[in-house]
Structure formats: structure tokens, C-alpha cells
Structure 1
Amino acid sequence: MSDIKPVHTDSGIPIDVRYSAQSKNATPALEEPGVFPFTRGVQSDMYRGRLWTMRQYAGFSTAEESNKRYHYLLNQGVMGLSVAFDLPTQIGYDSDHALAEGEVGKVGVAIDSIEDMQTLFKGINLQDVSTSMTINATGYILLSLYVALAKQQGADLSKISGTIQNDILKEYAARGTYIYPPKPSMRIITDIFEWCSKDLPKWNTISISGYHIREAGSTAVQEIAFTLSNGKAYVKAALEKGLDINVFGKRLSFFFNAHNNLFEEVAKFRAARKMWAKIMKELGATVEKAMMLRFHTQTGGSTLTAQQPLNNISRVTLQTLAAVMGGTQSLHTNGYDEALSLPTEEAARIALRTQQIVAFESGAADTVDPLAGSYFVEALTAEVEAKAWELMGKIDAMGGSVTAIEEGFMQDEIARSAYEYQRNIENGSKIIVGVNKFQVAEEQHPPVFKIDDSIRRIQSEKLSALRAGRNAALAAQSFANIEAAAKDGSNLMPHVISAVENKCTLGEISDVLRQVFGEYK
């Protein structure tokens, strides 16, 4: 046995050749699903009662083009929409801004005003659909646009459901689409918590994201340690504002990545639920729903290869199984062509069909926590949890996530793991099929989805017409109200909603707060 090559997960956890009841931490806990600390799931019957929400992340070009894709996906059986925004929208610039050149509509849809939002959801009743919006620094504006449109549709705001990502801390650590410094950014987030708890009670006010931390190169352990640390920082900020943890805690959600190591990913999801329940209890939550870690999963974009892209269908299938057997509440599956371009309609349909096949043909949804009791999975869950607690302890000792980010700790840890992962691929100790082994001489070249550069001109023309046609006095008063609220500490949300109703643009509103809060460099 001594000559058997040692094996570790990407998180550095050693894997034994075999597991038994005598293995460390291999004995399953005697807890039930739907019961604190929710290791086995947040519902007692999980998917027997209701399947996860099948979403497909989509958004590109103009609102008109994205609207067509949404109707296509709804007709194919998606259960919820998930909106991708272009880079200018994410960092608070209108499409006609000089810094937006070359980026309008490229990695998501361009949304500048209430008119774009009306077009994006044309023919879609917001009261009847759950919408997830992957937006952070400008999340308060996109949520305001969504609320304004719902009001125009005559919707009951108490029945509107969905999620904004609204997780700015991971932007500083891993992704970069921030605008303002950390402290005013945290203030905006808690304003959203406060406003939604009263006016939009079914809305998930934040999706604390490990996805982008993992995409930046972290391990599974780092993904949950950094994500839960960020979550802890948001909860503490809300508590300092005087908000009730048993109220806002129910509307917190998480967003995780699903990678290829099926068993480590299942263990990660199980450990994260258990850890978050304990964290929330320690912070004062007494209602079980406020202690539940509910999460959306997206399959791993960084795992997809441009070489032999059809192999990505197999990767996404493995990742789908990991998310489902790990107990996700909603799921987006990536298109096989996403290492090459935005997904084509065919690729998006295959990705959705992958979820549907797992749901209705695999048996994975037939019982709660199907890998529970596996000596291997139980031991791995305990190992992931122990390593994540250890890492969180280092962050706590530094004063929490904000300090850890300001001092570069999270960024350095992620960079180190990304380097190690890439080095293992290059030296052949980690095999990526089609990349460093099992290559083919002739590569496949599937059709790619291209965005027309004329979109910026189209959006700029719309903006000119909007500004010329709006009530200038109402717009000016709206900007003044937002500035005053930013300075006096009152909740920003009612003023931003009023501003977008008065046809103020995303870039203009962002600029008002740039003048008050400054920009993070």
C-alpha cells in the first residue's frame, strides 16, 4: 500500500484509498434535513416537494435582443430569469459615456433607464416570475428600476420575488466592478436591506457570492470561508443599523460555484449550510428560517475549455449533479461554448436540458441528501468544514472581511491558489482532458455568438431622446434628493426609485453618489 500515489483535492485535503466506519469523521450525524444546523438540506423533503428553480443566465446586446432570449428560454421551460448586465451598467456608466466605448452590450445587456427596463421585460408579468439580477455596485439602481416597472404593471410589491446579487465585498476581493469605497458601499447595502424588509418582503436582498471568488482561482475551502466571512460582515453591518436579524436574515441568500470534483463540491455545500446556521445563531438569530443558508448555484465557467468544447457538456453534467446532490435552491447551467463566446440558443437549450434530465431521469432528486451516510462524503464534509473554520478564524483575528480585503489578505490567498492550480496543469500533475492530455489534432469550431458594435450608437440615440423628452425640473430635484439623503444618512431607496420614475439614468444617479462618496481606487 505504501507505493500508492497520494491524492489530494484542490483544497489540499488528502483522500484515503478507502473509507470505513473507522475513518476519521466518517460517521454521519444523526440530524434530519430541514432541522438546525441544516447540513442535510433546508427542507425536510427537498426536491420531492418542489424542484430547484431552473434558471438560465442571459443578457446581451440591447434590451430588445435580451427580451427575445428570455421569451425563448421561458418557452423552453426555465422557471426563473437571471439577468446579465454589460460592464458599463455594472460600474455605473451610461452607454454614451466615453469609458463605455467598446463594452456596450458585450458581456450582458445594456440598461441605462426605465425605458430599457420596460423593453427588457416586455410581455413578462413581473408578479408571475422570479428574477435574479447579477449586479453589485449599481444593484440599488437596478432594483429601483425593477420596482418602478412592477409598479407600472400594477403589481402587488408584496408578491414580487427575486434576488439582486448586491455583494460588493467580493468585488474588491475577486472581481473588480466596484464604484465607491467599502464603507459607503456597505451603507447602500444596508439601505436595501431596510427598505426591502418593509416594502418588498419576498425579495432576496443579497446573494452573497462565492462564485466569483472561485472563478478568480480560489479553492472550495476558500470559497466558503471567504463567502461566509463576507456574509458575517453584512449581518454585522445590518445589526449596527438596528435591523432585526430574524427579519433580514430570512432574505439573505448565497451564490456558489459547482466545479468538477463531485464529492468535494457536495461536501462544500453541506459544510456551508452547517457553518452558516451556527454563525447566525451566534449573532443572535432565534428563528430557524433566519439561520438557513439558501443558495443559487452556477456551474463553473472557469472549468470550461476552448479545446474540444463539446467535452464541456460532460463537465456541466457533473457540476449539475454536484449542485443537486448538494441541495441547491436554484441552478444555472453554462453553455458548452462559453469559453469561446456568449452562448448560442442551441448551447443555452442543451444547458437547460441538462438540468431537466438530471431532474426527471437521473433519480438524483428522488430522495433528500442522497450521499448522506457515505463514509467518504461525511469525512470530506467534516474536513472542508474544519479547514474553512480555520481560515475564517484568521479573518476574524484581522477584524473581519472588510479589513482582510483592505489589507489584501483574501486577494493574496486567491492568487496563490490560482497560481498553484495553473502550475499543476502545466506540470501535468492535474489532468484537464483535451488541454494537457487527450488532445486532438483538429479542433472543433462550433458557431459562436457575436455582438454588433452598433449597439452603443443605438443606446446613445435612446439616451438623447430620453433626456430631451423628460421633465428637466423633476430630474434635477431627484438628483438633489439623492444627494441630500446620501449626506444626511436617510434611506436612499425611495429617492432612487422616484428618480428612475422621473427618467433619470443609471449613470447620472451613480455620478451623484460619486460626488458624495468618492470612488475606490
Structure 2
Amino acid sequence: MSDKKQTSSGIEIKPLYAAEGGEVPGEYPYTRGIQKDMYRGKLWTMRQYAGFSTAEESNKRYHFLLKQGTSGLSVAFDLPTQIGYDSDHELADGEVGKVGVAIDSLRDMEILFGGIRLQDITTSMTINATAATLLAMYIALAKKQGADLNQISGTIQNDILKEYAARGTYIYPPAQSMRLITDIFEYCSTSLPKWNTISISGYHIREAGSTAVQELAFTLANGKAYLKAALEKGLDINVFAKRLSFFFNCHNNFFEEIAKFRAARRMWAHITKELGATDASAQKLRFHTQTGGSTLTAQQPLNNIIRVSSQAMAAVLGGTQSLHTNGYDEALSLPTEQAAKIALRTQQVIAFESGITDTPDPLAGSYFIESLTDEMEAAAHKYIDTIDAMGGSVKAIEQDYIQQEIAAASYQYQRELETGERVLVGVNKFTEQEPALDNVFRVDDSIRQLQIEKLNSLKAERDNELVRANLADLTTAAKGSNNLMPFIISAVESYATLGEIADVLREVFGEY
């Protein structure tokens, strides 16, 4: 990108606008951004979330997105994969491939990334309870491709606390889940140094109905809990905190969302510093943003293109490191190729036509934005102080505090919609009779049978003695205190299935 920027009228845009002695981007506490030049130096990663049906079908969509100019992949997994059941399990019936791709074994992972060199892309995987197993499969595939593991980069969500609070795809009790997470931190710090070992997620907290302030507070409180758990394990905050990332939602209130992102960076810088981080990279909050799925409407779905554009622009003005824009038809189905393409084009128009990338944090110094940033921070701190007094996020979740706060906010929002106090265009104002959208995406139930056939053939071809031995080693390790990642990697390399590995851990850890 050229160093010189100017408006369409030829007015030069400076690399930085700041008050004398005022805060600048790239310097503590990073309110204005984590890089000195932000998008002037490098655009955010356009990371479109995709995954459905079988690994074969999702692979086709990934190649389509890469051809359209997406700069990073983001994998959605189906519900059975998220909660540790193979596609042939009775509880998987009706759910295989529906909200994401079905991954039963390393063989599915090989198909999913067929024709894609893992060393050449970054991949984000939205997976939590079974994160260690999916990461192990990714590592095993990278090794098979001959990749340099020091160069493999991407993110695993691995944020179990928000599952107990807001989403529900947990398997094991909190303490055992936290062990798996810190094992991943420890393993990757030496074996996969460029990998982001957790994406602490406010996205699902917001989708469950929280306010922007609650999303900010509960996400950072969870982040604080992960920092403390890793410190208790004896890990160095200046090493592991560099590989933590965050995942935020972006809803419709344009300025509130921008202020939320600015406040989040400042608050995290203070939190990490208080817990002993002295390295600048360990103090910086890096985050991915997804536009608000729950803001999209089935009524007048094309209105969603405008909502997504506004939300994406707020995320960019707020300084996001990567971005997923939702398809306009997502209130009705998984996105069609057409909707996925328009979502990606939305990011490309903002990046190359809007001019908002030409100077970092262009809204800094606005009386409104600065005041709103301060007020968001103060309101979020009240929640964090309450959670700290309870003994941290795990205790607050066990006492149902976070869940109750989200439920109350969600109820209030719904009430405002029903009374008309809050306007939702096309739903409670400017409504009209309209034909149903006919071009919607459907996943056929028959794909479960395809996955079962693949599982049967895998089990007939693999070395079952080796699988049994590796699962026995994993059982012994889970009963002790060894890091579990090497044992899970050995199991997936012998083509043990996701369900078999989850069952071993269920047996040792119990279910929550």
C-alpha cells in the first residue's frame, strides 16, 4: 500500500491525527489501536465463517471464498462435533452437518482442507469443548503436509466459560475444562508459537441477549480467569498472553460499538499489567469481529445488507484485526453462495472505497466518542468488580450470576421491541406483506448416512490395536497431571475418532 493517502479532492491525509501529548495508536493503553499505523500499514483479515454438510461440500465453499478474495478461513462445526459425538451416535440424528461441517476423524480434516496448504493461510476454528481434539487434527494434517509448525498460524476458540454462561456446548465440569485449555496454552507456547490458543468470546454472550456493556464486562472477566488459571499452572504471562485473542460481536448502535472496542483495549491493557505483563505484546487486546447474527431479520431480508454494512464499518472504525460479515439470508438458512459473496464484497468496499482505513482511529478526539468510551469502561468495571468479589468468572457462572444478568437484558430488549419503544425496520415498523425468499440453503439429512459409511470404512481400515493403545495412554494421562495434547495428537494420528477421544475424557472427567 502507498504511504501517501489523499481524499478524492486531493487533500493529503496524515498518518496520524493526535492532540499534543495525547494518546497515540500502538502505545499503552492502546485505546486507539494496537498498531501505530493500523490499516494504513495492513488491512484486517477478511475471514469469512463457513462450514456445512460434509467435509467435501465445505471444501468447495472454501475454494469459492478464496477465489473471491477472502484472506483467512473460519470453520463452523456441526453440533455433534461441538459436543464430542461422532455422526453415528444416536444423539447426532437430525443434526449432522446442519450448523457446520461434520468432522469425525483426521480423515474428514484431510478432505476439508484438500488442495489448501495450511502454511499459506490462517484458519480460525469455532470450537470449544472439543477444541483440543480439533487442534490436534489440524496439527496432524499440517505435519502430513510437511509444514513448518513454527509458521502455522490461526486461532482456536477454546473459550469454555462462555459456553456455561451463554451457549451450552460444554461437556466436562469447569475445572477439567480449564485443565484442557491451559494444556493447550502450554503445548502451543513451545510447539505452535504463532497459534492463538484462545479466542475469548463476547460474541455468543451478546447473541444470548446481553447488552454491549455486559458483553464487554463478561468477556474481559472470563479473560482474567484464563490469565489467572495459566499463572496458577506456572506459565509466563509474557509468553502465553501474547497468544490470547478475543472475539466480539458488532450490533446496530454504531457509536456504542466503536466505543466498546476502544474501551476493551484500554481495560485489557490495565488487567494484563496488573497481573504482571510487562511485554507490550502481552498487554495488547487483539480481536476478531463478527456482525450481529441476532440483529438480522427474516422479514425484508435484503435490509440485512444495510445492517451488516453499518456493523462492519463500526468494527473497522473500532480497530478490529479480522472480520466476518454475515450473509443477508442467515435469519432463514445457512448463507447461499450469493449471500456469502455480497458479505465479502461489503468488507472489500469498506477497505478500498470508503477512505476510513487511511488514518488510524479517525474518530479519536470526538467529544461523543471519547465520553462514550469512558462511560462504557466505567459501567463494565462495575460488573467486573462484582464478579471479582464473587471469586472470579468460574464462581460467578456457578452461582448463575452472569446467566441471570444476560437473561434480564434479553427480556428487556424483547419487551422494548414488542411495545414499539425500540424500532426494528421491517419487523415492528415499515412492515409489508412479502413473498417468502425462495433461494435458501438447505442441508439434507441423508448426509448423516454418508458420514456413517465413512466412519465404518475408516474403522475397518485403520490399525485398531494402535487406536486402543493410544486411547489407553490418553486415559492414564487424563487420570494424572500430564499435558494431554501429545496424547490426543497420537490418538488422532492413528485415526481415533472425535467421539472415541471425548468418551475417554467423559469417563475420567465426568459430564457437567
> Shorter-chain-normalised TM-score: which range?
over 0.9
Q: Residue 310 of structure 1 is aligned with which of 299, 302, 305?
A: 302
| Structure 1 Cα separation of the partners of residues 294 and 494 of structure 2 | 41
Q: Residue 478 of structure 2 is aligned with which of 486, 489, 501?
A: 486
Which residue identity lines up with residue 93 of structure 2 in the other structure?
E
- 1:255-266 paired onto structure 2 within 5 Å: 255-266=247-258
Q: Residue 104 of structure 2 is aligned with which of 112, 118, 122?
A: 112
| Cα shift readout 1:298-337 (whole Å, capped 9, x = no counterpart) | 0000000000000000000000001000000000000000
Q: Residue 500 of structure 2 is aligned with which of 500, 508, 518?
A: 508
Q: Residue 391 of structure 2 is aligned with which of 365, 381, 399?
A: 399
**2:114 aligned with 1:122:** yes
**2:266 aligned with 1:292:** no
| Cα shift readout 1:123-154 (whole Å, capped 9, x = no counterpart) | 00000000000000000000000000000000
**2:242 aligned with 1:250:** yes
**2:466 aligned with 1:474:** yes
| Cα shift readout 1:161-188 (whole Å, capped 9, x = no counterpart) | 0000000000000000000000000000
| Cα shift readout 1:223-271 (whole Å, capped 9, x = no counterpart) | 0100000000000000000000000010000000000111000000000
Question: C-alpha displacement at 1:468, in angstroms?
Answer: 1.2
Q: Residue 140 of structure 1 is aligned with which of 132, 141, 156?
A: 132
Native 8 Å contact 1:188 1:492 kept in 2:
yes
Question: C-alpha displacement at 1:445, in angstroms?
Answer: 1.5
**2:382 aligned with 1:390:** yes
Native 8 Å contact 1:229 1:400 kept in 2:
yes
**2:391 aligned with 1:361:** no
**2:328 aligned with 1:336:** yes
**2:222 aligned with 1:234:** no
Secondary structure, aligned partner of 1:157? coil
Give the match for residue 404 of structure 2: 412
**2:484 aligned with 1:517:** no
Cα RMSD of the aligned pairs, angstroms, is 0.9
| Cα shift readout 1:400-437 (whole Å, capped 9, x = no counterpart) | 00000000000000000000000000000000000000
TM-score, L = length of structure 2 = 0.96
Question: C-alpha displacement at 1:450, in angstroms?
Answer: 0.5
Give the match for residue 381 of structure 1: 373
Give the match for residue 187 of structure 1: 179
Question: C-alpha displacement at 1:66, in angstroms?
Answer: 0.1
Native 8 Å contact 1:482 1:492 kept in 2:
yes
Question: C-alpha displacement at 1:446, in angstroms?
Answer: 4.3
Question: C-alpha displacement at 1:364, in angstroms?
Answer: 1.2
Question: C-alpha displacement at 1:443, in angstroms?
Answer: 4.0
Native 8 Å contact 1:307 1:443 kept in 2:
no
| Structure 1 Cα separation of the partners of residues 23 and 357 of structure 2 | 20
Give the match for residue 41 of structure 1: 33
| Structure 1 Cα separation of the partners of residues 453 and 21 of structure 2 | 61
Native 8 Å contact 2:300 2:434 kept in 1:
no
Native 8 Å contact 1:307 1:435 kept in 2:
yes
Question: C-alpha displacement at 1:473, in angstroms?
Answer: 1.2
Question: C-alpha displacement at 1:104, in angstroms?
Answer: 0.1
Secondary structure, aligned partner of 1:249? helix
**2:143 aligned with 1:163:** no
Report how many aligned residue pairs link the two structures: 494
Q: Residue 431 of structure 1 is aligned with which of 409, 423, 430?
A: 423
Give the match for residue 90 of structure 1: 82
Q: Residue 151 of structure 1 is aligned with which of 143, 157, 162?
A: 143
**2:455 aligned with 1:463:** yes
Q: Residue 31 of structure 1 is aligned with which of 16, 23, 40?
A: 23
Native 8 Å contact 2:255 2:369 kept in 1:
yes
Structure 2 unmatched runs, 5+: 1-18
Native 8 Å contact 1:309 1:444 kept in 2:
no
| Structure 1 Cα separation of the partners of residues 457 and 295 of structure 2 | 43
Secondary structure, aligned partner of 2:25? coil
Question: C-alpha displacement at 1:28, in angstroms?
Answer: 11
Which residue identity lines up with residue 282 of structure 2 in the other structure?
A
> Which segment is superposed worse, 481-490 or 56-65?
481-490
Give the match for residue 16 of structure 2: none
The 3 A distance-change label for structure 1 pair 101 and 380 is same
Q: Please identify runs of 4+ aligned residues in structure 1 that moved more than 3 A.
A: none
Which residue identity lines up with residue 31 of structure 2 in the other structure?
T
Secondary structure, aligned partner of 1:167? coil
Structure 1 unmatched runs, 5+: 1-26
Which residue identity lines up with residue 196 of structure 1 in the other structure?
C
| Structure 1 Cα separation of the partners of residues 382 and 208 of structure 2 | 21
Question: C-alpha displacement at 1:87, in angstroms?
Answer: 0.1
Give the match for residue 4 of structure 1: none
Secondary structure, aligned partner of 2:150? helix
Question: C-alpha displacement at 1:442, in angstroms?
Answer: 2.2
Question: C-alpha displacement at 1:369, in angstroms?
Answer: 0.4
Secondary structure, aligned partner of 2:135? helix
| Structure 1 Cα separation of the partners of residues 191 and 165 of structure 2 | 31
Secondary structure, aligned partner of 1:158? coil
Which residue identity lines up with residue 289 of structure 1 in the other structure?
S
Which residue identity lines up with residue 248 of structure 2 in the other structure?
F
Question: C-alpha displacement at 1:30, in angstroms?
Answer: 1.4
Which residue identity lines up with residue 299 of structure 1 in the other structure?
T
Native 8 Å contact 1:28 1:372 kept in 2:
no
| Structure 2 Cα separation of the partners of residues 179 and 216 of structure 1 | 19
| Structure 1 Cα separation of the partners of residues 21 and 388 of structure 2 | 27
Give the match for residue 54 of structure 1: 46
| Structure 1 Cα separation of the partners of residues 436 and 66 of structure 2 | 30
Give the fraction of aligned pairs with identical amino acids, expressed as a percent: 73
Native 8 Å contact 2:288 2:322 kept in 1:
yes
Secondary structure, aligned partner of 1:82? strand
| Structure 2 Cα separation of the partners of residues 363 and 422 of structure 1 | 36
Secondary structure, aligned partner of 1:159? coil
Q: Residue 216 of structure 2 is aligned with which of 214, 224, 228?
A: 224
| Structure 1 Cα separation of the partners of residues 46 and 510 of structure 2 | 39
Q: Residue 452 of structure 1 is aligned with which of 444, 451, 459?
A: 444
| Cα shift readout 1:22-81 (whole Å, capped 9, x = no counterpart) | xxxxx9991110000000000000001000000110000000000000000000000000
Q: Residue 73 of structure 2 is aligned with which of 70, 75, 81?
A: 81
TM-score, L = length of structure 1 = 0.94
Which residue identity lines up with residue 278 of structure 2 in the other structure?
T
Give the match for residue 10 of structure 1: none
| Structure 1 Cα separation of the partners of residues 358 and 33 of structure 2 | 14
| Structure 2 Cα separation of the partners of residues 468 and 330 of structure 1 | 42
The 3 A distance-change label for structure 1 pair 477 and 176 is same
